[in-house]
Amino acid sequence: MNTPLHRADLEALRRVYLFSGLDDDEYLQAVSHATTLTLAPGQHLFSQGDPAEAFYWVAEGVIRLFRASPQGDEKVIDLVGQNRFFAEAVLFMGSRYPINASAQSHARLIAFDGNSFREWLAQDANRCFRLLAAMSARMHKLVNEIDRLTLMKGADRLLQYLLDHSDPDETGRHKVELEAPKQVIASRIGVKPETFSRLLHKLTDIGCVEMDGTTLYIRDPEAMRQTRIE
């Protein structure tokens, strides 16, 4: 079921990169056709090849983006968490989604109607260029991240994933909420599930991390950056 945006969503969206170059009036126009969409865990949002009719921002939960082989094997492309967009680049292609999207957990999304958004952009070339500049800067950052991760071994990709997803809690300890089952995260960083578990056990054994259910605590982030495991 689609519902209008909450005030808190409007305030949070105002700070994201896609709208950073817009003035307040333009921002309100940009989100005027956006609605809230809720998904249950495992619920499918769109499939590879579906017409790209909307793009999304995650207000709550986690969305799994993946490709599937004819044999049913799944490769996780990304796990999109809170305060992140996805499928926004497809907006300018006006074609079809290149991947599948499903809710990894209960999720609340902000859906932007693609046709309405493109019509709004077409009214002013300047606002279109400003939005494209924000997207290009974001894309450049992501490409650099992909290049960096491609050159890493599996163990280093795991370390980088944990460091990138860590946040200090109220006591200052750096924690990582494992937002999906281990096999899904393993697919995301390009290692086998058994390799992921083995590397995680090694990090625990050498005292780099502590596990508490689905929460992982990093004892010393700077020391872990220098850690080498095989």
Q: Which of the two residues, 74 and 147, has the higher pLDDT score?
A: 74
pLDDT bracket for residue 146 (50, 70, 90):
low
Tell whether 79 and 185 lie within a shared domain. Answer: no
CA 24 to chain centre: 26
Nearest alpha carbon to residue 111 among 5, 15, 22: 5
Tell whether 137 and 163 lie within a shared domain. Answer: no
Tell whether 67 and 160 lie within a shared domain. Answer: no
Nearest alpha carbon to residue 87 among 28, 23, 150, 18: 18
Q: In the chain, pLDDT over 90 holds for what percent of residues? A: 27
Query: What pLDDT sits at residue 140?
Result: 59
Q: What is the pTM of this model?
A: 0.72
Query: What pLDDT sits at residue 1?
Result: 53
What CATH number should be reported for the domain holding residue 117?
Answer: 2.60.120.10
- Residue 230 maps to a domain: no
Average pLDDT over residues 167-182: 83
Query: What pLDDT sits at residue 141?
Result: 66
pLDDT bracket for residue 126 (50, 70, 90):
confident
Tell whether 140 and 211 lie within a shared domain. Answer: no
| Domain-terminating residue out of 86, 116, 150 | 150
Q: How far apart are alpha carbons 102 and 94 in whole angstroms?
A: 21
Tell whether 146 and 179 lie within a shared domain. Answer: no
- Let me know: does 113 contact 36? Beta carbons within 8 Å: no
Torsion of Cα atoms, 78 then 79 then 82 then 88, to 10°: 30
* Widest pairwise Cα distance in the chain: 59
Which residues form the domain of 81? 2-150
Tell whether 101 and 27 lie within a shared domain. Answer: yes
- Let me know: does 120 contact 30? Beta carbons within 8 Å: yes
- Residue 100 maps to a domain: yes
Tell whether 60 and 110 lie within a shared domain. Answer: yes
Is residue 111 pLDDT above 70, yes or no? yes
Helix (H, G, I), strand (E, B) or coil at 54: strand
- Let me know: does 170 contact 179? Beta carbons within 8 Å: no
Average pLDDT over residues 167-186: 84
